[in-house]
Amino acid sequence: MERRFACTACGKCCFGWLPLTLDDALAHAGRFPLAVVWTPVKPASRAFATTARIGLTVRLADRKQVAVRIAPTAYLPPSMACPELKPDGLCAIHADKPSRCRTMPFFPYRAESDQADLLLPRSGWACEVGASAPVVYRDKAVVERGDFDREHEALLGQTPVLKAYGEALLGSVPGLPDALARAAAKPGGGHVALGFASLLRRLNPDNRNSHAEAQLTVLAAVSARVSDPDYARNYADWTWELERLLGR
């Protein structure tokens, strides 16, 4: 089985959430409004084993176990374009863009053998998948795998940090396990989004303040443009958390 794919720079995938590696999140803290998104994955899901390996496993109140993917995320409403998307559909930071953008449409949060459906463009996307596009996936393996492997290795490398963070919050944030249970019960799956300050306070303190300051600037800029009340409320809450982190 072979799949062909080529990007046409339509820009349609450059909207809404973008999961980031921890290094990319810190490097781009002055560009994207950041959240830490927790995604519970049930044992029956094909992504369970991979999620358990790069995230953590949690036993919910009903004694059911889920794997939880913890991903620093550029947190934008689905209708809002990436702030680095240019009018011509090209990326303003192409030479420095996040790993997630380089690896698209592949997704190493899932097993390499479970990537075929990701190569089918969503409605309205102009990706090239015909005979003129190169073969990018063959016999359940990525053909040109440099970007896929680099992102996968970054996810594995950050696992100890994010696992320690996740376990600490599960034991200290009231209501978080229940929120994960509600997310897991949603048809199609759900998420829990926490402010980036919850992760920043557990990282090396050397650059903590500069990252927090950068986030405050970004959140102020995005808040002025967003109309979705849920996002506006989250941005306001996370601004308060960052200011508290900075001792204000």
What would the pLDDT profile of 33-60 be if each residue is shown by its tens digit? 999 999 999 999 999 999 999 999 999 8
Average pLDDT, the chain: 95
Count, residues in the chain: 248
Taking alpha carbons only, the member of 196, 209, 210, 200 closest to residue 238 is 196
Rounded Cα–Cα distance for residues 99 and 19 (Å): 9
d(CA 192, CA 70): 10
Task: Answer whether residue 1 shows pLDDT above 90.
Answer: no
Mean pLDDT of 90-114: 95
The CB-side HSE value for 243 (13 A sphere, CA atoms) comes to 10
- Cα 185 to Cα 42, 66, 67, 72, 88: the distances in Å are 9, 11, 13, 22, 40
Q: Give residue 61's pLDDT band: very low, low, confident or very high (50, 70, 90).
A: confident
- Report how far residue 80's alpha carbon sits from residue 57's, in angstroms, rounded to the nearest whole number: 32
Q: Looking at the predicted structure, is the pLDDT value of residue 62 above 80?
A: no
The pair of three-digit structure tokens given for residue 227, joined into one six-digit string: 């109309």
Omega before 83 within 30 of 0, i.e. cis: no
Q: Each residue of 125-171: pLDDT tens digit?
A: 999 999 999 999 999 999 999 999 999 999 999 999 999 999 999 99
Residue 98 phi, psi (nearest 5) = -60, 160
Domain extent at residue 33: 2-245
Number of structural domains, the chain?
Answer: 1
Sheet bearing 2-4, strands edge to edge: 2-4, 135-138, 141-142
Q: Is the per-residue pLDDT at 228 higher than 80?
A: yes
Whether pLDDT at 63 is above 80: no
Q: Tens digits of per-residue pLDDT, 160-203? A: 999 999 999 999 999 999 999 999 999 989 999 999 999 999 99
Q: Describe the crossing of helices 208-223 and 229-245 by its angle, rounded to 10 degrees.
A: 150
Residue 92 has pLDDT above 80, yes or no: yes
Contact 179, 87 (CB under 8 A): no
